[in-house]
């Protein structure tokens, strides 16, 4: 990659002579846009594109698919991220010390003065304001009783007393995995379905996959009812479709995601990832499938989604969304809870964070 030119060169596997290339550009504001979709590159093993939207802090996501029409081999796909970040994208340590620390000191001083003034006016005003903010979306007691690490042993004992021990639950999970690991994934491996999968090795089984109203994405000749989502049963109540586990939607699959939410009357969406994660070379984990600012609306097919309330806690953000079906003329409220402390390729630092998230949901 030189200046505004993106050059891609690949070594073709044997028998593969037809390729398709997709390039998505993500800028510093985490806004991604598809800039290249090139199909049927016959006997060409390189591609050059001049990007007018290039900036010094650009990240490119390249997806290359190879096909062997005459040999009957299955298509293969590879994906790579290219970062164009230069030194100007990062703030130097000296600049942080010379500018950041004085600003931080002024901010702390202002907060201290505000605290003193508020306490003189009313000793309970701060807690009252905080309670009002949190109670906008959820009942107040859920925020007045956070879970601390010291409480975990007691919670575990209560859990073991009410139900079976954790070791028994893991044994049941192992048996369940043995029973289901051989289930077929024929639908998820169809060419039209592969375009809807973020990862080729994380797909739903045919037996418990979620079907949606058929829709098209770029490259489709026919509409498909496939979405990367699975039904999860509740063993205690016996409900076979108690929950839905879905991948974070991309730009092309966001309309299908909201169609699924509407079709199955989903009231709460729990998101366990940030939009972009990774150190050094950030990776786009999920599209922004909701309006970013309170009061804004976005249209996804027949559905219009409006963000009308939002509250932020230390480890999660709770949003309220009004979803309106334009043809039916009906609306529903969907609560969106985004857990922001689950690190990429890691686990939450404190188990209490997850326990509190479960209590909130």
- How confident is the model over 182-221, as pLDDT tens digits? 578 889 999 899 989 988 888 998 988 999 999 998 888 8
**Residue 63 reports pLDDT greater than 90:** no
- Is it the case that residue 153 has pLDDT exceeding 70? no
User: Quick one: pLDDT band at residue 95, thresholds 50, 70, 90?
Assistant: low
Q: pLDDT at residue 327 above 80?
A: yes
Q: Quick one: tokens of 355?
A: 């326990």
Q: Does domain 248-361 have CATH number 3.90.190.10?
A: yes
The residues facing 270 across adjacent strands are 337
Name, of 106-115, 148-157, 159-168, 291-300, the range with top average pLDDT. 291-300
Q: Does domain 5-88 have CATH number 2.60.40?
A: yes
Total residue length of the chain = 361
Cβ 62 vs Cβ 8: under 8 Å: yes
First to last CA, the chain: 45
Please provide the average confidence, as pLDDT, over all residues in the chain. Answer: 78
Residue 232 has pLDDT above 60, yes or no: yes
The domain limits of the chain are: 5-88, 114-139, 248-361
DSSP per residue, 139-166: -THHHHS---GGGHHHHHHHHHHHS--H
Lowest mean pLDDT among 77-81, 116-120, 267-271, 309-313: 116-120
How far is Cα 282 from Cα 176, in angstroms, rounded to an integer?
Answer: 35
Tens of pLDDT, residue by residue over 251-294, are 999 999 999 999 999 999 999 988 888 766 677 889 999 999 99
pLDDT tens digits along 25-37: 776 555 677 777 7
pLDDT digits (tens, 9 = 90+) for 293-303: 999 999 999 99
pLDDT of amino acid 29: 53
Judged on CB neighbours under 10 Å (0-12, 13-18, 19+), 142 is: middle
Query: What is the C-alpha separation between 290 and 304, in angstroms, rounded?
Result: 10
Q: Which residue has the higher pLDDT, 140 or 334?
A: 334
Number of neighbouring beta carbons within 10 Å of residue 224: 20
- In angstroms, the CA 82 to CA 275 distance is 17
Of 256, 261, 248, give the one whose Cα is nearest residue 324: 261
Question: What percent of the chain has pLDDT above 70?
Answer: 72
What number is the average pLDDT over the span 79-96? 59
| Greatest distance between any 2 Cα atoms in the chain | 82
> Global pTM?
0.52
CA quadruple 290, 294, 295, 301: dihedral, nearest 10: 0
Q: Compute the C-alpha angle 224/230/234, nearest 5°.
A: 145
User: How far apart, in Å, are the Cα atoms of 219 and each of 26, 213, 250, 324, 334?
Assistant: 22, 18, 15, 29, 31
Percent of the chain, pLDDT > 90? 27
Give the C-alpha separation, 260 to 212, whole Å.
6
In this prediction, residue 146 has a pLDDT band, given cuts at 50, 70 and 90, of: very low
User: pLDDT higher for 214 or 63?
Assistant: 214
Q: Let me know: does 26 contact 55? Beta carbons within 8 Å.
A: no
Buried b (16+ CB within 10 A) or exposed e, 70-87: eeeeeeeeeeeeebbeee
């Amino acid at each position: 990659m030189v200046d505004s030119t993106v050059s891609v060169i690949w070594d073709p596997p044997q028998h593969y002579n037809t390729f398709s290339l997709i390039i998505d550009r993500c800028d510093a504001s985490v806004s991604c846009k598809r800039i290249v979709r090139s199909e049927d590159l016959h006997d060409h093993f390189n591609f050059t594109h001049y990007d007018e939207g290039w900036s010094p802090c650009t990240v490119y996501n390249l997806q290359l698919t190879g096909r062997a029409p005459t040999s009957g081999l299955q298509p293969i796909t590879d994906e790579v991220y290219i970062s164009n970040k230069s030194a100007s994208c990062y703030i130097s340590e000296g600049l942080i010390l010379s500018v950041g620390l004085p600003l931080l000191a002024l901010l702390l001083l202002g907060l201290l003065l505000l605290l003193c003034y508020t306490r003189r006016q009313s000793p309970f005003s701060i807690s009252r304001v905080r309670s009002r903010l949190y109670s906008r979306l959820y009942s107040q007691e859920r925020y007045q009783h956070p879970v601390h690490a010291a409480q975990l042993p007691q919670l575990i004992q209560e859990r073991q007393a009410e139900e079976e021990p954790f070791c028994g639950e893991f044994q049941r999970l192992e048996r369940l995995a043995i029973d289901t690991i051989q289930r077929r994934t024929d639908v998820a491996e169809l060419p039209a379905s592969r375009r809807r999968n973020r990862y080729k090795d994380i797909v739903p089984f045919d037996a418990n996959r979620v079907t949606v109203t058929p829709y098209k994405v770029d490259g489709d000749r026919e509409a498909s009812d496939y979405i990367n989502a699975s039904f999860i049963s509740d063993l205690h109540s016996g409900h076979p479709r108690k929950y839905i586990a879905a991948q974070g939607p991309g730009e092309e699959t966001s309309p299908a995601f909201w169609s699924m939410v509407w079709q199955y009357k989903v009231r709460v969406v729990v998101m366990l990832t940030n939009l972009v994660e990774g150190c050094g070379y950030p990776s786009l984990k999920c599209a922004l499938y909701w309006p970013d600012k309170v009061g804004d609306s976005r249209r996804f097919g027949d559905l219009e989604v409006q963000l009308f309330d939002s509250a932020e806690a230390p480890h999660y953000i709770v949003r309220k969304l009004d979803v309106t079906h334009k043809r039916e003329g009906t609306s529903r409220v969907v609560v969106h809870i985004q857990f922001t402390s689950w690190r990429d390729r890691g686990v939450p630092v404190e188990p209490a964070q997850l326990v509190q998230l479960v209590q909130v949901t």
